[in-house]
Structure 1
Amino acid sequence: MQLRTLELFCTIAEHRSFSKAASLHQLTQSAVSQAMQHLEESVGAELIDRSKRPLILTPAGKTYLGGLRGILRSYERLEQEVRSTSRQLSGRVSIGTIVSVGLSYMPDASEAFGRLHRDVDVRTQFGSNDRVFEMTAEGEVDFGLVSFPHSNKDIQFVLWQQEPMRLVCSAEHRFATQHEVSLSQLSGVKMISFDRGLQLRQEIDRCLAKAGISVNACMEFDNADSMIRAIQASRGIGIVPEAAVRRETANGSLRVVACRELRMTRPLGIIFRRSGRLSRAASEFGSLLLGRPLEAGKRLKSGSGKLTVEAATIEPETGSSVVA
């Protein structure tokens, strides 16, 4: 079976359309249809349900796609390793990331990596925490950047950093002019919050409850960027990752509210598949983020993976990262 046919099947599965796949691969729709018929004859099973619009994969097709993605990624890594036998790195690095981490850290990291390795194409795919785990496990990306990293049968992780969480408010909020607030002043306050289904929200609530504080979540969002916009628009207040509001605090549209009793961090980690190994380019990018060699195949234990409001916060491991 030709590699191009397998790539064509993946494109059809992604776009659920023969015509779209034909356009992307510069083929006629008839050629695409014939290629899929030959593929199904080769594997001895119907892979695509053509009676539905848009097209859907049969159960056999879904199983085939899951295994095929891993094979194609392995082949791509093999090609990259062969090309990288010379000193100059080349190829492509695909990174899955949650929105807040991608927007806060990837631009600087990609720029720094590009100065070192001009022939490597770095691509970023955004998704929820669960989606990044899924993309990584299925081989859609080389590795993922997530919050609250954990290992499972398919995934292992390296702790990247403990990112500070900050209480921030709009410039018009009553807390904006106060030099410092106490934790007790937050009790009953209307607050812009993360969606209650997110682990970050659950950990924030748990930590506040541990300190005897109950806030009034008046709006909820599933990502930090939307939450920040809402805090600005509603003249509100919320607890967000420090790196996510650097621009807003610099231009004065948001203020960091000092609260010495509020000491929260969220763990960020780099996740990768247990099976296979990272390409040289992916390993180099991960090492740039981490500030030390990315040790594929080894989980580095550091911290509990929980937010904390206690005096002792968990610090990241030592190392010089250009972005962390």
Structure 2
Amino acid sequence: MNIRDLEYLVALAEYKHFRRAADACHVSQPTLSGQIRKLEDELGIVLLERTSRKVLFTQSGLLLVDQAKTVLREVKLLKEMASNQGKDMTGPLHIGVIPTVGPYLLPHIMPVLTHEFPELELFLYEQQTAHLIDQLETGHLDCAIVASVEETQPFIEVPIFQEKMLVAVSDKHPWSTEKQLSLSSLNNKEILMLDDGHCLREQALGYCFAAGARENAHFQATSLETLRNMVAANAGITLMPELAVHNEGERQGVKYIPCVNPEPTRAITLIYRPGSPLRQRYERIAKVIVNAIKPILVE
């Protein structure tokens, strides 16, 4: 048994598919399958049920996956401790970012990060929150930029910025001339939403339901850009995060209206594993991001 075998096992548990797990581990499917079989022979237990077309773990397999994640976290910790013996801001850094933040934040912060820390080798990964958390737990990511939700609480959270949500309507909508709206204006209105898995969906739904709005049951978007295009076509209204509308003006016929009483917001944070010896590195990264984005969000 070696560390690589444990990585194969955890990847298979994550993707529930041999080919996708093999692709994620950068090996062939026969190699991954063979190593899993070899691991079973070495341990003398059956990890997978092979009578189904789906990847199903036995109870023993699930227990081993949990233990493998713990081992991989400890291995990552050892590597971080070794890395910390040199300069703090050198070497590889794997950063995750959620899709409703990445396209709008990264263009502002990447030039600054590469200028401030030229000896850091930055790797970026855009995934939904649940996947980023899994990657953090197994050590595949060093830190992640996410919207603070209940699932991120086990990690150290460094605040980056508080982001407003604005009501987005078509320039043909009766609200298009409004300077601001009370959240109660959404009462009995249908709201276009992102599909399941996006934390922004749950946060926006919370505000909308509290205001008496309801979700449009006939459509769910996979991205903010799809939502923006639906609004431009006067097919509905939605809530858009502030950074996504920065410098947008009335592009494609969409108007963005501030909301009050209460003002919908979400907290964007940088998260990393508790106990990491590279805490100073992540705190410095967060500080640079805060300083870079602060002027962008000033009214």
TM class by shorter chain equals 0.7 to 0.9
Instruction: Name which of structure 1's ranges 67-76 and 167-176 shifts more when overlaid on structure 2.
Output: 67-76
Q: Gaps (5+ residues) in structure 2?
A: none
Aligned residues: 287
Q: Gaps (5+ residues) in structure 1?
A: 209-213, 292-318
> Equivalent residue for 2:179?
180
The alpha-carbon distance between structure 1 residues 273 and 80, as it changes in their structure 2 partners (threshold 3 A), is closer
Q: Distance in 1 between matches of 2:54 and 2:250?
A: 47
Q: Secondary structure at the match of 1:120?
A: strand
> Equivalent residue for 1:93?
94
The alpha-carbon distance between structure 1 residues 140 and 216, as it changes in their structure 2 partners (threshold 3 A), is same
> Equivalent residue for 1:43?
43
The alpha-carbon distance between structure 1 residues 52 and 276, as it changes in their structure 2 partners (threshold 3 A), is farther
- Matching residue's letter, 2:243: A
What is the CA deviation profile of residues 68-126 of structure 1, one whole-angstrom value per residue up to 9, with x for unaligned ones? 2343344345335535644461123132x432122322343334323323541322231
What is the CA deviation profile of residues 268-303 of structure 1, one whole-angstrom value per residue up to 9, with x for unaligned ones? 333333354447655543343345xxxxxxxxxxxx
Q: Secondary structure at the match of 2:53?
A: coil
> Equivalent residue for 1:239?
239
Q: Secondary structure at the match of 2:161?
A: strand
- Matching residue's letter, 2:95: S
Structure 1 residue 203 corresponds to structure 2 residue 176: no
- Aligned alpha-carbon RMSD (Å): 4.0
The alpha-carbon distance between structure 1 residues 8 and 279, as it changes in their structure 2 partners (threshold 3 A), is farther
Contact map agreement 1:17 1:54 (CA 8 A) in 2: no
Contact map agreement 2:80 2:276 (CA 8 A) in 1: no
Q: Distance in 2 between matches of 1:65 and 1:193?
A: 35
The alpha-carbon distance between structure 1 residues 53 and 271, as it changes in their structure 2 partners (threshold 3 A), is same
Q: Secondary structure at the match of 1:100?
A: coil
Contact map agreement 1:168 1:257 (CA 8 A) in 2: yes
What pairs up with 1:241-256 in 2 under 5 angstroms? 241-246=241-246, 248-249=248-249, 251=251, 253-256=253-256
Which structure is higher in helix share? 2
Contact map agreement 1:289 1:322 (CA 8 A) in 2: no
The alpha-carbon distance between structure 1 residues 140 and 322, as it changes in their structure 2 partners (threshold 3 A), is farther
The alpha-carbon distance between structure 1 residues 193 and 38, as it changes in their structure 2 partners (threshold 3 A), is closer
What pairs up with 1:155-304 in 2 under 5 angstroms? 155-176=155-176, 178=177, 180=179, 183=182, 187-193=187-193, 198-206=202-210, 208=211, 214-215=212-213, 217-218=215-216, 221=220, 225=224, 226-234=226-234, 236-246=236-246, 248-249=248-249, 251=251, 253-257=253-257, 263-278=263-278, 282-291=282-291
> Equivalent residue for 1:103?
103
The alpha-carbon distance between structure 1 residues 62 and 249, as it changes in their structure 2 partners (threshold 3 A), is farther
Q: Secondary structure at the match of 1:141?
A: coil
Offset of 1:141 from its aligned partner?
3.0
The alpha-carbon distance between structure 1 residues 284 and 243, as it changes in their structure 2 partners (threshold 3 A), is same
Q: Percent identity?
A: 17
> Equivalent residue for 1:312?
none
Offset of 1:201 from its aligned partner?
1.1
Contact map agreement 1:169 1:254 (CA 8 A) in 2: yes
What is the CA deviation profile of residues 7-61 of structure 1, one whole-angstrom value per residue up to 9, with x for unaligned ones? 34344444632797399655693x6555434422443422233333344332222
TM-score, normalised via structure 1 length = 0.68
Q: Secondary structure at the match of 1:45?
A: coil
Q: Distance in 2 between matches of 1:133 and 1:23?
A: 16
Contact map agreement 2:143 2:273 (CA 8 A) in 1: yes
Q: Distance in 2 between matches of 1:75 and 1:38?
A: 22
